[in-house]
Amino acid sequence: MEIRVPSMTPSISDLEVDYVADAVKSGWGDKRSKYLDALSAELVGLVNLDFCTPVSHGTSGLQLALHALDVGPGDEVIVPDLTWVASASPIVHLGAKPVFVDVDETMCINASHLRSVINPKTKAMVIVDLVGSAPKWDEIRDISDEMQIPVVEDATESIGSHYKTKAIGSLGTLSVFSFNATKLTMSGQGGAVCTNSSTLNNRIKSLMHHGIDAELSGKYYWSNELGYNYQMSNMQAAMALAQMQRIDKLMEFKRQSREWYLDSFAGTALEIVPYPREVDSNAWMTIGIIDSSLGIQKEEAVKYFQMAGVDLRPFFYRLSDMPTFATYGRSYDLRDSQIGSALERFGICLPYGYDLTIDQVKYVAQVFKTMCKEGI
């Protein structure tokens, strides 16, 4: 079946083309960091933090942030159970144990469960601002301050959003962004780590480039500690900078397309998951939950939609159920996970490309109504 409605398509203007072309032609030698520096400044301005380091992708940003906090064997790191795998995999790569916590109505980590899982081994918390939403940050920050547990804010899906008056990406000890090809602002691949700590920022910069810190060693090619090659290229930064300079327009389209979905699915058996009232969302991706009484689970719905030419995607799976993480268990009883279970079993990610039209949204809604009528 030919795809009539793709899952995601980017928005590329002349600005992206011009910046990338300039980076290709002249972004070398003493200009090799021109767009990296400009992107850093753009992100610092967005989140009102002091430091920002572009990196190769969001996953490497999370690993660098946790490594900079000295997370390692014997440590535990709290992370939501229902999220993209990259939120937890760096914890395991560093030899620590992920402690999986359930989500609540925000689609993000349940802040009221945090105290019950904190113990002397708890080294950090990875708090994810999932799909344009955000958790109850006031409660999380109070716990972090009181118990002196640093927070890595995984803001990879919510750039441009706000929690009350605070920009998403400004709420953790360190925050991480992504410019993956599917994100609100993208460069094909890329990411960034932001913080107010000069010490953590310097550690990030060193770890990102093989543990090399010439100011510390006085030597150009000298590695002070085992690091990584997690640098972002100047050409990727050129693309990301152009996208960041268009972020308001990009969010405007996302919010408009969400309104189309709300109108088109009104009165149907699909609940469009609302954002918390404290969150001014970027509306990156619209999530729906299929009424459980239909008996249609997300994988079945995805197959049905794809047969109709709609590239629908399922919502995330519990990480604690995956072979990669199953040995770590979970910190909660599944019988108490009504919201998480509904999202995992019946949650779908509606198409969210930048070439989405209102007619396509109406077609997606019609396919859903037909599915409900005919069954699977």
Q: Please give the full DSSP string across 107-163, using - where no structure is assigned.
A: SSB-GGGHHHH--TTEEEEEEE-GGG----HHHHHHHHHHHT--EEEE-TT-TT-EE
pLDDT in tens, the chain (376 residues): 678 999 999 999 999 999 999 999 999 999 999 999 999 999 999 999 999 999 999 999 999 999 999 999 999 999 999 999 999 999 999 999 999 999 999 999 999 999 999 999 999 999 999 999 999 999 999 999 999 999 999 999 999 999 999 999 999 999 999 999 999 999 999 999 999 999 999 999 999 999 999 888 888 899 999 999 999 999 999 999 999 999 999 999 999 999 999 999 999 999 999 999 999 999 999 999 999 999 999 999 999 999 999 999 999 999 999 999 999 999 999 999 999 999 999 999 999 999 999 999 999 999 999 999 998 8
Q: Are strands 162-163 and 122-128 parallel, antiparallel or unpaired?
A: unpaired
Per-residue pLDDT tens over the stretch 347-367: 999 999 999 999 999 999 999
Cβ atoms of 189 and 236 closer than 8 Å = yes
Residue type, 171: L
DSSP string, 197-265: -HHHHHHHHHHHBTTB-HHHHS-TT-BSS---B-BPPHHHHHHHHHHHHTHHHHHHHHHHHHHHHHHHT
- The domain ranges of the chain are 14-245, 248-374
Residues 34-46 as b or e (16 or more Cβ within 10 Å = b): bbbebbbebbeeb
CATH 3.40.366.10 fits 248-374, yes or no: no
Q: What pLDDT, on the 0 to 100 scale, is given for residue 1?
A: 65
Placement of tokens 């770890």 in the chain? 207
State the fold for domain 14-245. Answer: Aspartate Aminotransferase; domain 2 (3.40.640)
* Residue pLDDT, tens place only, 200-244: 999 999 999 999 998 888 888 999 999 999 999 999 999 999 999
pTM for the predicted model, two decimal places: 0.96
pLDDT of 214 reads 87
End-to-end Cα separation, the chain, in angstroms: 18
The DSSP secondary structure of 275-341, one letter per residue, reads PPTTEE----S-EEEE-GGG---HHHHHHHHHHTTB--EEPP-BGGGSTTTGGG--SS-GGG-HHHH
